[in-house]
Amino acid sequence: MQAGIIGLGLIGGSMGLALQETKMFKTILGYDINPLHNQQALSLGLVDECVELKNIQECDVIFLAIPLDGIIPTLETFDNISPYTTIIDLGGAKEKIASSIPSRMRKNFIGAHPMSGTEFFGPKAALKDLFKNKIIILTDIEDSGEFQVAYAKEIFVSIGMRIIKMGSKEHDWHIALISHLPHIISYALANAVLSQENPQTILALIGGGFKDMSRISKSSPIMWKDIFKQNKENVLKSLDIFEKEILLGKKLMEEEKWEDLKAWMAKANTLQNFM
Amino acid sequence: MQAGIIGLGLIGGSMGLALQETKMFKTILGYDINPLHNQQALSLGLVDECVELKNIQECDVIFLAIPLDGIIPTLETFDNISPYTTIIDLGGAKEKIASSIPSRMRKNFIGAHPMSGTEFFGPKAALKDLFKNKIIILTDIEDSGEFQVAYAKEIFVSIGMRIIKMGSKEHDWHIALISHLPHIISYALANAVLSQENPQTILALIGGGFKDMSRISKSSPIMWKDIFKQNKENVLKSLDIFEKEILLGKKLMEEEKWEDLKAWMAKANTLQNFM
């Protein structure tokens, strides 16, 4: 068996390392639009060989780990996909892509979203255990081929992931709240401090709270631009929900309703019962 | 030398453990308004002995590690403070307290804010290394006695802290941005998800981003109510700055200005140059 990975950054590179450990594949081919990434991926041993994009389609399984806007155009270049090829998209928003997959390869296609990542990006950010014990959400699998679903599941279980199935519409809404919203907030918090005259003086004081809250503001703008673009409506909706809460907190402070503010915070404390 | 700690939660309890390691004190006395906390502090070995509040004032150094609203009323109960007693307030907002210290003990008083903490609270949350390699901000020390400043510095250096001096007004503004604002945001984010019909389904999907962004939403509502109350104006001002940024991100999404959104995120990325 041969695996191909398109996009050799944090996710694609980590997938290369994880697949190697399974021993399921004779060779793992890689392709990245950035020549430097191909070089780095080879020297870091993320894949066995870097090839042209058109050669990737000969693989038994093809992973797409590229910014979302590149997924459909990449699929469209494939002119020789066998009925037994499995194409797995690892992107963070699903609905728009699900509705644009060329119909001739709909059965080949598996929508998958690994709930793992770090704030770092590029081949050097790849980690062999990035996916271990993490959740992978498979979306709209009733539209994928039975063979492809079974094969994708086998791979994800082999690299230590826990599988959850979901419709792409439901996925995009839940993920807007749990992942896309926190990213927008973190970017805004970082920019709020950076907009001050003396960010250096202020940032000299940071403790663990700000450190955690700003960590994901280091994430890739290229990747996140496409996510916000493709999941725009849900992200805006989640922002409205967040806005309502933050304005409530603000109002309680302005009106000096301290006991109500305490109750509002105590409600937030109950989050830990779910985690 | 004898040390006394009023309030035996995360901060006071950790201070007890840290002071023991310095061997600077023959005994460390403790007092907490909650009898259970006194019991727990003794059985966890956070202090040597629990005593009545009035007995604490005989100590050479007295730490106040209680919710902010309790600090001035506690100071007012002290009727027998020697000129050589050092009273150290460890609270997270400074200006209001600085302007209310009974004048007869102004020289005794040191305003100190350790930039360390966790989301946990109570005696069981105490950690012996909580303060190690962390920053402590000493505020308005020109108003404190020379002896008290020197003694406080010696103690903080002994427990491994790095000292920064600052006016209480400047402290409260910087800390609003770097600590109080992130807490309000984290509480609001937690409540945004909890306000959904099915928080459990959504929270089953969490990755590292949400985990980090919601960690401090578990913090003590009792402690934070007093902080928001005492630093209200600065927190509201910091919220306005954050609001401006989040509304900008939102606007760029609504207007589909994706390149501008990317630039906005790339600006946030520069935060790491300061950290």
Is it the case that residue B219 has pLDDT exceeding 90?
yes
Which chain B residue's Cα is nearest to A222?
Answer: B262
Q: Do B174 and A254 touch (CB under 8 A)?
A: no
Per the listing, tokens 């604002």 go with B181
| Residue A73: how many other CB atoms lie within 10 Å | 9
Contacts of B225 in chain A (CB under 8 A): 258-259, 261-262, 265
Task: Give the HSE-up count for residue B81: Cα atoms under 13 Å, Cβ half-sphere.
Answer: 22
For chain B positions 182-211, those within 8 Å of chain A (CB to CB) are: 182-196, 199-211
How large is the average pLDDT for residues B231-245?
98
Give the model's pLDDT for residue A206.
87
For chain B positions 26-85, those within 8 Å of chain A (CB to CB) are: none
> How far is B88 from B149, CA to CA, in rounded Å?
10
**Could you say which DSSP state residue A81 is in?**
-
> How far is A20 from A39, CA to CA, in rounded Å?
18
Q: Do A189 and B218 touch (CB under 8 A)?
A: no
Chain pair A-B, CB pairs under 8 angstroms: 280
Contact A7, A64 (CB under 8 A): yes
For chain B positions 93-132, those within 8 Å of chain A (CB to CB) are: 115-118
Q: Which two tokens stand for residue A108?
A: 């080949």
Give the model's pLDDT for residue B207.
83
Give the model's pLDDT for residue A52.
96
**Could you say which DSSP state residue A178 is in?**
I
* CATH 3.40.50.720 boundaries in chain A: 2-166
> How far is B10 from B22, CA to CA, in rounded Å?
19
Q: Which run of H or E residues covers position B162?
A: strand B162-166
Q: Do A232 and B256 touch (CB under 8 A)?
A: yes
For every residue of A241-256, DSSP letters joined together read HHHHHHHHHHHHHHTT
- Give the percent of chain B with pLDDT over 70: 100
Q: Do B137 and A205 touch (CB under 8 A)?
A: yes
Is it the case that residue A126 has pLDDT exceeding 90?
yes
Is it the case that residue A91 has pLDDT exceeding 90?
yes
Mean of the per-residue pLDDT values of chain B: 96
Which are the contacts of A118, defined by CB distance < 8 A and separation ≥ 6? Answer: A10, A125, A127, A130, B208
Q: Which fold has domain B171-274?
A: 6-phosphogluconate dehydrogenase C-terminal fold (1.10.3660)
Closest CA to B185 of B273, B246, B248: B246
Strands A86-89 and A109-114: parallel
Class of residue A158 by CB neighbours under 10 A (exposed 0-12, middle 13-18, buried 19+):
middle
pLDDT band at A274 (very low <50, low <70, confident <90, very high): confident
Give the model's pLDDT for residue B178.
95
How large is the average pLDDT for residues B127-146?
97
Q: Do A271 and B194 touch (CB under 8 A)?
A: yes
User: Testing the interface with A: which of B133, B168, B183, B187 to mutate, by most A Cβ within 10 A?
Assistant: B187
- Burial string for B119-158 (b: 16+ CB within 10 Å, else e) reads bebbbebbebebbeebbbbbbbbeebbeebbebbbebbee
Task: Phi first, then psi: give them for residue A60, nearest 5 degrees.
Answer: -70, -40
Sheet containing A162-166, strands listed edge to edge, beginning at the edge strand earlier in sequence: A49-50, A27-31, A2-6, A61-64, A86-89, A109-114, A135-139, A162-166
Condensed to tens digits (0 to 9), the pLDDT of residues A252-271 reads 999 999 999 999 999 999 99
Q: Do B202 and A174 touch (CB under 8 A)?
A: yes
> How far is A16 from A5, CA to CA, in rounded Å?
7
**Residue A275 pairs with which residues in a beta bridge?**
none
Which are the contacts of B47, defined by CB distance < 8 A and separation ≥ 6? Answer: B5, B8, B16, B28, B29, B30, B41
Give the model's pLDDT for residue A207.
83
Which are the contacts of B252, defined by CB distance < 8 A and separation ≥ 6? Answer: B258, B260, B261, B264
pLDDT band at B200 (very low <50, low <70, confident <90, very high): very high
> How far is A32 from A40, CA to CA, in rounded Å?
10
Closest CA to A119 of A29, A215, A50, A189: A215
> How far is B228 from B96, CA to CA, in rounded Å?
12
Give the model's pLDDT for residue B239.
98
Give the model's pLDDT for residue B275.
79
Condensed to tens digits (0 to 9), the pLDDT of residues A200-248 reads 999 999 888 999 999 999 999 999 999 999 999 999 999 999 999 999 9
Which are the contacts of A127, defined by CB distance < 8 A and separation ≥ 6? Answer: A10, A14, A17, A118
Q: Do A243 and B241 touch (CB under 8 A)?
A: no
* CATH 1.10.3660.10 boundaries in chain A: 171-274
Give the model's pLDDT for residue B274.
86
Least confident of A151-160, A202-211, A261-270, B133-142: A202-211
Put simply, whether A274 touches B (Cβ < 8 Å) is yes
Distance from CA of A155 to the nearest CA of B (A): 20
Give the angle subtended at the CA of B268 by the CAs of B262 and B271, to the nearest 5°: 150
Give the model's pLDDT for residue A275.
79
Put simply, whether A175 touches B (Cβ < 8 Å) is yes
Q: Which two tokens stand for residue B87?
A: 């009273």
Which are the contacts of B273, defined by CB distance < 8 A and separation ≥ 6? Answer: none
> How far is A85 from A63, CA to CA, in rounded Å?
11
Distance from CA of B180 to the nearest CA of A (A): 9
Facing residue for A268 by CB, picked from B217, B238, B263? B217
For residue A160, the SS3 value is coil
For chain B positions 248-267, those within 8 Å of chain A (CB to CB) are: 248-250, 253-254, 256, 258-259, 261-267
Q: Do B269 and A221 touch (CB under 8 A)?
A: yes
Which chain B residue's Cα is nearest to A212?
Answer: B212
Is it the case that residue B208 has pLDDT exceeding 90?
no
More confident of the two residues A198 and A186? A186
Condensed to tens digits (0 to 9), the pLDDT of residues B11-57 reads 999 999 999 999 999 999 999 999 999 999 999 999 999 999 999 99
**Residue B6 pairs with which residues in a beta bridge?**
B31, B64
Contact B3, B63 (CB under 8 A): yes
For residue B202, the SS3 value is helix
Facing residue for B193 by CB, picked from A178, A189, A203? A178
For domain A2-166, which architecture applies?
3-Layer(aba) Sandwich (3.40)
Distance from CA of A85 to the nearest CA of B (A): 28
Distance from CA of A58 to the nearest CA of B (A): 33
- Give the percent of chain A with pLDDT over 70: 100
Facing residue for A213 by CB, picked from B182, B196, B229? B182
> How far is B160 from B19, CA to CA, in rounded Å?
11
Distance from CA of B136 to the nearest CA of A (A): 9
Whole-complex ipTM: 0.93
Q: Which two tokens stand for residue A182?
A: 């926190």
For chain B positions 209-248, those within 8 Å of chain A (CB to CB) are: 209-219, 221-222, 224-225, 228-229, 232, 235-236, 238-239, 241-246, 248
Contact A71, A83 (CB under 8 A): no
Condensed to tens digits (0 to 9), the pLDDT of residues A37-90 reads 999 999 999 999 999 999 999 999 999 999 999 999 999 999 989 999 999 999
Contact B235, A258 (CB under 8 A): no
